[in-house]
Amino acid sequence: MSVTGFIIRVLIKLLQIYSYLILGRVLLSWFIQDPYNKIYQFFLSITEPILGPLRRILPAMGGWDLSPIVAFLAIDIITRLLLSIL
């Protein structure tokens, strides 16, 4: 395996892990409303750098936060592009 292939595989794995972190944040937001909860703070600190700017770009949808969906789509597109390079 080439160095480039290894780097691409690592990037794909990191994107998959980040997808799981976003999913974890979404699920936790349904159950945990305490902003001082350490677990929720962890997920918030990891995912907000991506979801926050997306939320500001997206139009208001009556209280619905579509930023995780857009993030999932972006991660999927990036992953497919990386896979096509392999």
Q: The domain containing residue 80 runs over which residues? A: 3-85
**Per-residue pLDDT, 34:** 85
Q: How many domains does the chain have?
A: 1
Q: Is 22 exposed, middle or buried (0-12, 13-18, 19+ CB in 10 A)?
A: buried
**Per-residue pLDDT, 63:** 84
With pLDDT > 70 as the criterion, what percentage of the chain qualifies?
99
2-11, 15-24, 33-42: segment of lowest average pLDDT: 33-42
**Global pTM?**
0.89
Q: Give CA–CA dist 48/33, Å, rounded.
A: 16
Q: Give the chain's mean pLDDT.
A: 94
Band of residue 33 on the pLDDT scale cut at 50, 70, 90: confident
Q: Is 58 exposed, middle or buried (0-12, 13-18, 19+ CB in 10 A)?
A: middle
